[in-house]
A and B are shown apart, each in its own frame.
Chain A
Amino acid sequence: MERLQSIPKAWIYLILVIVLAGPLLKPIGIPIQISDGVRNVFDAIDSLTPGSIVVFGFDYSPGNAAEMEPQALAILEHLADKQVEVVGISFQAQGPQMAEKAFANTAWSEKEYGVDYINLGYRAGGQAAVAAFANDIPGTFSTDYSGKPSSSFPIMQGIKTAADVDMIITIAPGQPGPEDYVRQVYGTYKTRIIAGVPAVAITQAAPYVQARQIEGILGGLPGAAEYELLVEKPGMAVAAMDAQSLAHLLIIILIVLRNIPNFFGAKEARAQSISNSTPNGRGGRS
């Protein structure tokens, strides 16, 4: 029992790394079910007609790219198939670089910059910047990421406010995030919103989906994996799902093992306290 309580921390991490690396090197192929939430996101994006304007918020950074980037790549592949126009923005300082990388690693690399898509870079200010963006897109993002006037690009012609946008997709692990787009954009302009959030923020974003302020959310790596399957382009997220499932199993086993001594210890302590409370010790009733 005591051994279970004193497993060195380093050993637990080592076992975890082995459990994670194993299926990455030799995939098992645990089936992935497509959830209704992810299918809703797919259907919403699939309903866009060619030429629709989509604002894509790259509101994540390298620190959380492992969870967020697969979502962005899978959705961008779908958007490329739909032949819509994508306006990349960011309210996160490292977002523009993530946008550059995402456009370069998807079908968008073969499309024309400034005509089919654009990267407008980063604007500081959090929720206030989101409000300013909704009210005046070319004014808030007056230049693209390289510093050229945004109004000089064909894609920006006719885009003034959020009302001129058919859909906003934000991939955001924190703030500004989906809540800020709901507060500052949906309330006034009723622009359709799709969000990609990390697993930890699913419960936070779900009420907005229930209230239909957000049309759908992708949650964490499983959301990305399901979307990769829907667009028939399995990538890093699908490859990671075996590892994630096994890691969860390991954590459940560790929690159970760690609590067995506590469970029996509590039982023994209770028995001890009962025996101490009786005047004659054990068997005092007789």
Chain B
Amino acid sequence: MSLDMGVWVAGLVTLAILSHVWKENPFYRIAEHLYVGISAGHAVVMAWGNIRDTAVKPLTEEGQFLWIVPIVLGILLYARYFKGISWIARFPVAVMVGIGTGVAVSGAIHGDFSQQISATIKVGSVNEILLLVFVIASLSYFFFSRDLKGPLSSVPQLGKVVLMVAFGAAFGTTVMGRMALLIGRIQFILGDWLGVMK
């Protein structure tokens, strides 16, 4: 059994959180509030460290005065908490949305659009042919402009089946992931804390 105080705290908090499957109880509540508080505190410290290293130090120690612009924009975000001048917060939000959209769109056009389409339409093996057919069938399921009739109506039906298979795979892997998290906690309790697992 571990003699480390930190391991004991982690072990007891793990049990407190897991006790929620039995029913809501004060131990669970304490652990929940601890988690939220520590996470928030850690996030604030890391965020400040990030601002200090990225902007404040270059400004104060290296004389890079351009960093005043993002620092001021960041401070202006808090204007929303003051009636009368809350509209000022729209400027930094606009800058953030503009930069975010620009970066995302420029990357997505290449990474998610052109390269994905060219990889999908390049057919050589049976797998690649199946992939192309399934992609077209799945897309046709979301084609609402005209009702597909006759033999064509089977294409969206195939798309529906493909989507169900994809959702099934996603559900299966989600269960797998959740089990892995629970196994991790049990490994910690039995191994690191109680020392009964080799």
Contacts and interface: CB of A to CB of B under 8 A. Distances in A.
Interface of A: 9-10, 13, 16-17, 20-21, 24-25, 64-67, 93-94, 121-124, 126-128, 131, 142-143, 147, 179-180, 182-184, 186-187, 198-203, 207-208, 210-213, 219-222, 236, 239-240, 243-244, 247-248, 251
Given A127-B103, A142-B58, A219 B173 contact: yes
A248 B115 contact: no
Among B57, B110, B183, max chain A CB count under 10 A is at B183
A143 B179 contact: no
A66 B184 contact: yes
Contacts of B181: 64, 66-67
B169 interface: yes
Interface in B61-111: 99-100, 103-104, 107-108, 110-111
A20 B21 contact: no
Nearest to A97: B42
Contacts of A124: 46-47, 50
B160 interface: no
A67 B108 contact: no
Specify the main secondary structure of chain A where it touches its partner. helix
Interface in B156-177: 166, 169-170, 173-177
B192 to A, nearest CB: 11
Contact of B176 (A20, A179, A211, A221): A221
Range for the number of chain B residues in contact with chain A: 35 or more
A24 B190 contact: yes
A187 B183 contact: no
A248 B171 CA distance: 12
6 contacts: A10-B21, A64-B181, A142-B58, A187-B111, A220-B173, A240-B183
A240 B180 contact: yes
A46 to B, nearest CB: 25
Given A9-B21, A24-B197, A199-B176, A243 B50 contact: no
Nearest to A219: B173
Contacts of B58: 142
B196 interface: yes
Contact of B173 (A187, A199, A251): A199
Nearest to B116: A211
A127 B186 contact: no
A201 B176 CA distance: 11
B130 to A, nearest CB: 12
Nearest to B122: A211
Contacts of A121: 49, 53
Nearest to A198: B177
Nearest to A251: B175
Specify the main secondary structure of chain B where it touches its partner. helix
Contacts of B123: none
A162 to B, nearest CB: 13
Which 10 A-B residue pairs are closest in the complex by CB-CB distance?
A66-B184, A183-B107, A211-B119, A183-B111, A187-B110, A199-B177, A199-B176, A221-B180, A199-B173, A93-B46
Contact of A220 (B103, B118, B177): B177
A244 B183 contact: yes
B107 A20 contact: no
A131 B107 contact: yes
B98 to A, nearest CB: 11
A13 B21 contact: yes
A203 B183 contact: no
A98 B167 CA distance: 32
B32 to A, nearest CB: 14
Contacts of B54: 123, 142
A170 to B, nearest CB: 14
Contact of B42 (A21, A93, A198, A199): A93
A94 B42 contact: yes
A219 B170 CA distance: 12
A200 B177 contact: yes
A187 B107 contact: yes
Nearest to A94: B42
A219 B180 CA distance: 12
